[in-house]
Amino acid sequence: MNRLQRLQDAGVSIWLDTLSREGLESGAFARLVAESAVTGATSNPTIFAAAITGSDRYDEQLRALVAAGVDDPRELFFAIALDDVRRAAAILRPVHERSRGSDGFISFECTPDIADDTEATIGQAVDLWHRIDRPNVLIKVPATRAGVGAIEELTARGVNINVTLLFSVERYEDVIEAYLRGLERRVAASLPVHGITSVASFFVSRVDAETDVMLSADSALRGRVAIANAPHAYARFLARFAGARWEALRRAGATPQRPLWASPGTKDASYSDVLYVERLIAPGVINTMPQKTLNAFADHGTVELTLGHDLSAARAVLSAAAAEGLDLDAITSELERDGVQTFCDSYEQLLNCIDSKAGSLAASA
């Protein structure tokens, strides 16, 4: 508890990397918000697949929807998932209000089957934004090339965006630029920018999981590449949300697009279970932790600012990685595609499960 509060006091927003009806109905999620410094949460197709396939808490609502004539698995998914999102948003609303709109968010993701379609992403994101109709919701858009194209338009339309599946600093530059252009379009059109929020979600442990298998077992670089990549991203955040261009937007009421460290659970059991929390502490960042990582940090995490302007150590690690033959650009590009495919697989599993459940519930009615 005290460790989590100290982490929050250091400027890190702690978000839960899961969402389930069980946690909402049992009060477990509300207790984390009230007692464990949790100020947000996120969801994705994998999270919802686990929640819905592993619980009967959705059955009653599914039965009622089927009885009302809803039989499209995607619409059934939206109906039940968006109810969970609204419930979470209600629990987080006091945090949102206390923070004057800078925290207290719940995220919901566009379906991964449209990750490479800019126009479809824009259309679905706008639809989801209006259907959820809560100020403390973020619509997740993947940082694919098509997704980057959607970010500017969605920001210009006033939609809060969580840019997900970010791996490379170069793609992050594109994401920041899209956000800034979207805000500038609103200012030019005399539309308000106050209250528009965006975060940029870097997936950290997956980078090490991929690079470690390419390194020798005794390489000193194992478990260090992702943590060397993150300071460069944070430095870009500090640089781009400063200076004359940003100051003009800030005076109009805009807020920075905050960096978010996603996937902080360690994949290698030989590493500290709080590695990607302790080494990524800086003011203004968000860390979305699985429950296991949250519990671990509450038990034995230490708080010390570990990110800043000095990139010399990070540059040395990345240079050494390149010397050992690691092509970080190629690796992060592959991770982006793998991430989209993983979410597509989870989404397909999810729709199949909902379709099967709906059929069974209809037959037993």
pLDDT of residue 361: 77
The DSSP code sequence of 85-146 is HHHHHHHHHHHHHHTTTSS-EEEEEPPGGGTT-HHHHHHHHHHHHHHH--TTEEEEEE-SHH
Tokens 């109905």 -> residue: 25
Cα 132-134-137 angle, rounded to 5 deg = 85
76 touches 70 (CB < 8 A): yes
pLDDT of residue 1: 57
pLDDT of residue 116: 95
For the chain, how big is the Rg over CA atoms in Å? 20
The SS3 of residue 244 is: helix
| Residue 262 φ then ψ, to 5° | -105, 165
| Residue 201 φ then ψ, to 5° | -95, 105
- Is residue 292 among the annotated active site residues? no
Which tokens in the block code for residue 289? 């932790």
Cα 39-280-268 angle, rounded to 5 deg = 105
Cα 361-112-51 angle, rounded to 5 deg = 40
Please state the domain extents for the chain. 2-364
| Residue 289 φ then ψ, to 5° | -105, 135
Give the separation between CA 8 and CA 331, rounded to whole angstroms.
32
Give the separation between CA 325 and CA 342, rounded to whole angstroms.
27
354 touches 62 (CB < 8 A): yes
* Nearest Cα residue to 88 out of 161, 159, 14, 19: 19
Give the separation between CA 319 and CA 196, rounded to whole angstroms.
38
104 touches 39 (CB < 8 A): yes
| Per-residue pLDDT reduced to its tens digit, 35-44 | 999 999 998 8
Class of domain 2-364: alpha beta
What predicted TM-score, i.e. pTM, was given to this entire model? 0.95
Which segments of the chain have a pLDDT < 70?
1, 365
276 to each of 227, 234, 294, 302, how far by Cα in Å?
Answer: 7, 14, 11, 12
Give the separation between CA 167 and CA 143, rounded to whole angstroms.
9
Give the separation between CA 162 and CA 107, rounded to whole angstroms.
7
pLDDT of residue 54: 80
Annotated catalytic residue within 140, 267, 292, 357: 140
Give the separation between CA 250 and CA 128, rounded to whole angstroms.
27
289 touches 230 (CB < 8 A): no
